[in-house]
Structure 1
Amino acid sequence: MNNSSIMKKNFFLIIVALAGFLFCGAQEKRALLIGIDTYTPPDEYEPSSTVGRTEFMDLAGCVNDARSMQSIITSRFKFSTDKIDTLFNTDATRDAILKQINALLEKSKPGDIAFLYYAGHGSQIRNSSSKEADKKDETMVPSNTWKQGVQDIRDKELAKLYNKFIDKGVKLTVIFDCCHSGSLSRGPQDANPPKFRYIAESNYDAKDPSQPTPPETRKEGTFLIMSAAQDNG
């Protein structure tokens, strides 16, 4: 199956899964769409021991996928364009992503629908304080992780934010179009950006013993999280 067919299949499955959530009656519908193709640092970049990883690979199609999702939610799910925020490429820094998720939370009222979509690299980070057997957290990779001290956004950080939406009575749907599978090979280094959305794990240690309640296991509230990634391993 080629990449175009995979993407069409993904979007079809997404539409079916979302229908019951995004067609719900609500006071307001808001969305944050994130797409990152650009990960390589600027020419003047110099590797440092305070940078989480030493290799950065650009992607192809993530911004287009986010734009396609924007078209879907406006045409099929009647989201108003002025209620949709986007972060593309170098604008999608760690601080900007967290700021916009918190802004989505702040603007949303009980009964409202909030939708978060991310297309970009997924990865992992070591967490020596984790109770999980592999001592690793899954991550979303912002566009500026090449900068000193900038870490990936970990699943535990996101879970805490998701729980705030649930606590507020907001109906939250999250889609990640990336991959957290370390079994994927990196592929040849050529002029064509890789199609799979995984990057080598960060060498930071999160040292975070917290165990937030997985939002998908909570009985109260309405929460849906989906992965639209294909396993290319």
Structure 2
Amino acid sequence: MEKGSRKRLAVLVGCNYPNTSYELHGCINDVLAMRESLVNRLGFDPTHIQLLIDDHHDQYGISSVIMPTGENIKKALETMIGEAQPGDILFFHYSGHGTRIPSMKPGKPFRCDEAIVPCDFNLITDVDFRHLVNMLPKGASFTILSDSCHSGGLIDKEKEQIGPTSFSSSSSTTESDKNGPKSLSFRPKIIPFQSILQHFISSTNINTFDIGTHLLETFGANASLKFRLHLFDLEILEPRLKSDDGGILLSGCQADETSADMSPNMEGGKAYGAFSNAVEMVLKAKSGQRLSNRELVMEARKVLKAQGLTQQHPCLYCRDENVDAAFLGLEKN
């Protein structure tokens, strides 16, 4: 049974991209582990947790699957927000590939914006997440935990609290850091923008380097708001009053970094996302204790550093009042 009178609702998305050149191995494991933690440690009702994964092999013990397409993910999030009441706690855990999109804003040719890559490549962008946060009823919170590359800043215009400009341990990477832990092999959870563009050029037969044209041709009204709205309309998607911004982003890395998908070099070892696993380790170590958003991110950084993953720095974005608020509102078990 859920703790207290507030509802806790969750959407969990794991994309392994099976049988593709972009295949990952730990993302579904990540969200299955999170589902268990939400129920057993954080007081979520299992009927209030929706799971979207792109594989239903028997090894996962799942018979039916909602595919994590861009449309299905946004529909699940919009439904969750539509069911929320003031004070409710909403959670979205994404484990999969991320990417960076060249900015469409005039005069900013070197700026990039962040996006996640659903299984059908229908990108969900920072603008979409800002729009979702703005839809929250007053007093509700929406925590996003994104274990993906370039995930820092995934909620457009959300305030950085722990990140490249607010924490001294930044993204310097030594030659030894790049190798990661010796007992594990890993793959960055990124599909480069140029690869996504070439995918759509091949599928649409439209010879343009404008990704928006390809996404609108392929997905129509289900494409990201970033490509459906005029630039003037995008500027309207500002955060609500600071005291009423319920968005909280825990990102697996900074906007210019990659997140790791780990594969143990031993038979029977279980693959996992480095950030998701670090969060699970912290939740287990702090079980029954109050854990703030700040503490969770800082402890996850320590875990990754101890594992040799010093090229990856989790970040926190939210309004000031939520920095030291309890993660997912759980004060104590």
TM-score (structure 2 length as normaliser)? 0.49
Q: Describe the shift of the 1:25–1:131 C-alpha distance in structure 2 as closer, same or farther (beyond 3 A).
A: farther
SS of equivalent residue, structure 2 residue 243 = coil
User: 1 or 2, which has the higher helix percentage?
Assistant: 2
Q: CA deviation at 1:125?
A: 1.9
Asked if 1:33 is matched to 2:12, the reply is yes
SS of equivalent residue, structure 1 residue 79 = coil
Q: CA deviation at 1:222?
A: 3.6
Q: Is the 8 A contact 2:239 2:245 kept in 1?
A: no
Q: 1:164 aligns with which of 127, 135, 139?
A: 135
Asked if 1:106 is matched to 2:82, the reply is yes
* Paired amino acid for 1:172: F
More relative contact order, 1 or 2 (CA 8 Å, 6+ apart):
1
Q: 2:192 aligns with which of 200, 214, 217?
A: 200
Q: Distance in 2 between matches of 1:118 and 1:73?
A: 14
Q: Distance in 2 between matches of 1:197 and 1:26?
A: 37
Q: 1:179 aligns with which of 149, 154, 159?
A: 149
Q: Describe the shift of the 1:131–1:85 C-alpha distance in structure 2 as closer, same or farther (beyond 3 A).
A: farther
Q: CA deviation at 1:24?
A: 8.1
SS of equivalent residue, structure 1 residue 195 = strand
Q: Equivalent residue for 1:124?
A: 100
Q: CA deviation at 1:223?
A: 3.1
Unaligned runs of 5+ in 2: 56-66, 152-170, 172-178, 180-184, 198-210, 213-225, 254-258, 260-309, 313-333
* Paired amino acid for 2:95: A
TM-score (structure 1 length as normaliser)? 0.67
Q: Describe the shift of the 1:24–1:82 C-alpha distance in structure 2 as closer, same or farther (beyond 3 A).
A: closer
SS of equivalent residue, structure 2 residue 188 = coil
Per-residue displacement from partner, 1:100-126 (whole Å, max 9, x unpaired)?
A: 010011111111111111000000223
Q: Equivalent residue for 1:6?
A: none
SS of equivalent residue, structure 2 residue 78 = helix
Unaligned runs of 5+ in 1: 1-22, 42-55, 146-150, 188-192
Q: Is the 8 A contact 2:101 2:113 kept in 1?
A: yes
Q: Equivalent residue for 1:80?
A: 45
Asked if 1:70 is matched to 2:40, the reply is no
Q: 1:93 aligns with which of 69, 86, 95?
A: 69
Q: CA deviation at 1:95?
A: 0.5
Asked if 1:219 is matched to 2:243, the reply is yes
Q: Distance in 2 between matches of 1:131 and 1:157?
A: 22
Q: Distance in 2 between matches of 1:125 and 1:26?
A: 41
Q: CA deviation at 1:214?
A: 4.7
RMSD: 3.1
Q: Is the 8 A contact 1:60 1:194 kept in 2?
A: no
Q: Distance in 1 between matches of 2:13 and 2:108?
A: 28
Q: Report how many residues are paired.
A: 183
SS of equivalent residue, structure 1 residue 219 = helix
Q: CA deviation at 1:60?
A: 1.1
Q: Is the 8 A contact 1:39 1:143 kept in 2?
A: no
